[in-house]
Structure 1
Amino acid sequence: MKETENLERFIDAVQYVGRMLKRNVRDQASPQGITKTQWFILRHLWKKPCTIGELAGKLEVRSSSMSQMIDRMELAGLVQRTTDPQDGRTKIVMLNDAGKNHLEMITNAGVELLFDPFSKFSKEEQQLVVELLERFKVNLSATFEDKK
């Protein structure tokens, strides 16, 4: 067995799972009139409200581009902007009820997609898969931070 065989198998598996998850998001979000990028923004805002600049950093786009995306999402009734209590010049973007409902529908579809394949693992295997992927995520993140 060559040295990189396991890594190549890992890459193939991660790419396949990623494609299936993206397809599921697209299939669920599209009928709701939500793009994949908007879904990502909604998902991030679910964790915590944040500024346009913070969102732009997460998506690696200019703040002006993110501002336009938020304008469209605000017009669609998915998000709202409020003034930052600590800095009156800054706006905080947060989910509103419609945005939460759309995100919940899409997220539930993702859970449904993964439930059966994930349930075929024992409870111990499920825990191990999650822990290993979380560690890999941290390691990969550190690799990108080292390159800055």
Structure 2
Amino acid sequence: MIDYDDAGKILSEMVQISRTFRIAGQRSGEQSFSGTRFGFLQHLRTCDSRLGELAHRLLISAPVASRAVDSLEAEGMVERRPDPLDARASLISITDQGRMRLAESESSAVQRFAESLDGWSQEESRNAISLLKTLNVHLRALTLPEESTEVVPAPAAAQEVNESETPG
């Protein structure tokens, strides 16, 4: 088991990273894309979803999700349509405009991030990816219901990293 002090140091570094990204996002002039709105568009890029599914996916409350979707809809980035499986529900879909803005935002963010990591070797990058994926697997337990006993072993995550990082 990890040492308590080391766990505290890791948590402190993660909080610092979170602050850094929040401040960098504010300074970039792209304040219109909060983490929630950005996360919704990323998810909707691959599939339409109900509001509750989006809230669950980003671990936020339904009212916060609703406000974010309302805002995205007002800007023409998403649209609601009736759910064919349940007429009382709506499916939320990303629009072409939303796809374009998401691609632009991602490209800009990745470019700035890559520039900040100038000097990293390929090995350092791969090690960071592996550690972060493993960390996310372990942290996922914090989001599961207390009665859940679901555990995803870390080696599976590391294997996933190695397979996905192989040049192709």
Query: What range is the shorter-chain TM-score in?
Result: 0.7 to 0.9
The one-letter amino acid of 1:145's match is: L
Q: Is the 8 A contact 1:29 1:36 kept in 2?
A: no
The amino acid across from 1:29 in the alignment is E
How far is the alpha carbon of 1:52 from its aligned partner?
0.8
Say whether 1:132 aligns with 2:105: no
Aligned sequence identity (%): 22
AA matched with 2:110: V
Give the structure, 1 or 2, with the largest relative contact order (CA under 8 Å, sep 6 or more): 1
* 1:77 maps to 2:88: no
What is the CA deviation profile of residues 73-122 of structure 1, one whole-angstrom value per residue up to 9, with x for unaligned ones? 21221101123343344321111122122222222222122203434222
Q: 1:89 to 1:71 in 2, by over 3 A?
A: same
1:8 aligned partner: 8
Q: String of CA shifts for 1:18-75, please: whole Å, max 9, x gaps.
A: 2222223333422xx444432332233234321111112234212x553343233212
Q: Look up the match of 2:52.
A: 53
Q: Taking structure 1 as reference, are residues 104 and 28 closer, same or farther at Cα in structure 2, changes over 3 Å only?
A: farther
Higher helix share: 1
Q: Which amino acid aligns with 1:21?
A: F
Q: Which runs of 5+ in 2 are unaligned?
A: 148-168
RMSD: 2.5
Structure 2 length normalisation: TM-score? 0.69
Question: Aligned residue for 2:99?
Answer: 100
Q: Which whole-Å CA distance do the structure 1 matches of 2:70 and 2:8 have between them? A: 41
Query: Normalising by structure 1, what TM-score?
Result: 0.77
- Distance in 2, Cα, partners of 1:94 & 1:43: 11
5+ unaligned residues in a row in structure 1: which ranges?
none
Counterpart residue number, 1:112: 111
Opposite residue 14 of structure 2, the aligned amino acid is: V
Q: CA deviation at 1:131?
A: 1.1
Length, aligned pairs only: 143
